[in-house]
């Protein structure tokens, strides 16, 4: 906001993670070119210190992005980066308007240029984090698909073995009891071979049925 030779720049302090509200900060340039700041930072250095805080935030996020591995890590980073991206963009636009209002102030041009660099850095960092999260999600989905396929193969093999040996277990449970101890043919080896052949053929038939495509 400009009134004659006075200029008031309204900005936001660098937002913290999970911070719902925004903390405002005012920079006032009087007619003599002197700067004052509502947060107590010294005059001409106030805007530079304000940009330094944004730069430190972005540096911290860059370090966090380099260490992120899972999609959940990137999601938390994106949630924290989103308000930083918006605040940086708004700060650049505000300083651009301030530069147009007071074109003779060289420091405003320098701060505007730095704000633009920070805004671009925040945008690129956000896009990089988003792309990395997408890659992590695709990789996780591929791992889950492979695990599901392995489980399906294991279950199929188990069903095949169960179908093959089910007749052996069933007939063995019936004819292996004391019910057949007094049968004359139970003392011969021939019934055993008959038992094996019948159970094997039945098991093969069940296996073919189980493995038959639907």
Q: Is 102 helix (H, G, I), strand (E, B) or coil?
A: coil
Contacts of 200 (CB under 8 A, 6+ apart): 167, 168
* Predicted confidence (pLDDT) per residue in 163-214, tens digit: 777 777 777 776 665 545 565 655 666 666 777 787 778 877 877 776 777 6
Asked whether the whole model's pTM tops 0.75, one would answer: no
Q: Are residues 168 and 139 in the same domain?
A: no
Q: Are residues 37 and 117 in the same domain?
A: yes
Contacts of 36 (CB under 8 A, 6+ apart): 27, 28, 30, 43, 46
Q: Are residues 115 and 202 in the same domain?
A: no
Range of the domain at 106: 2-143
**Is residue 68 included in any domain, yes or no?**
yes
**Is residue 149 included in any domain, yes or no?**
no
* Predicted confidence (pLDDT) per residue in 46-70, tens digit: 888 889 988 998 998 888 888 888 8
CA distance linking residue 88 with residue 20, whole number of Å:
17
**Is residue 148 included in any domain, yes or no?**
no
Q: Are residues 175 and 123 in the same domain?
A: no
CA dist 72 to 62, 131, 159, Å?
16, 13, 37
């Amino acid at each position: 906001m400009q009134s004659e030779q006075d200029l008031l720049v309204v900005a936001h302090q660098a937002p913290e993670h999970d911070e719902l509200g925004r903390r405002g900060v005012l920079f006032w340039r009087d007619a003599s070119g002197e700067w004052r700041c509502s947060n107590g930072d010294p005059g001409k250095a106030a805007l530079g210190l304000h940009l330094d805080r944004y730069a430190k935030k972005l540096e911290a996020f860059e370090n966090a992005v380099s260490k992120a591995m899972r999609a959940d890590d990137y999601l938390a980073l994106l949630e924290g980066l989103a308000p930083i991206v918006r605040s940086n963009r708004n700060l650049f636009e505000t300083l651009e308007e301030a530069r147009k209002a007071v074109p003779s102030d060289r420091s405003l041009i320098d701060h505007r240029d730095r704000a633009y660099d920070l805004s671009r850095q925040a945008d690129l960092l956000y896009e990089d984090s988003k792309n990395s999260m997408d890659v992590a999600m695709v990789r996780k989905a591929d791992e889950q698909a492979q695990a599901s396929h392995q489980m399906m193969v294991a279950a199929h093999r188990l069903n095949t073995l169960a179908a093959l040996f089910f007749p052996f277990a069933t007939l063995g449970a019936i004819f292996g009891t004391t019910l057949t101890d007094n049968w004359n043919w139970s003392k011969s080896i021939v019934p055993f071979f008959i038992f094996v052949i019948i159970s094997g053929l039945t098991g093969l038939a069940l296996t073919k049925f189980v493995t038959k495509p639907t």
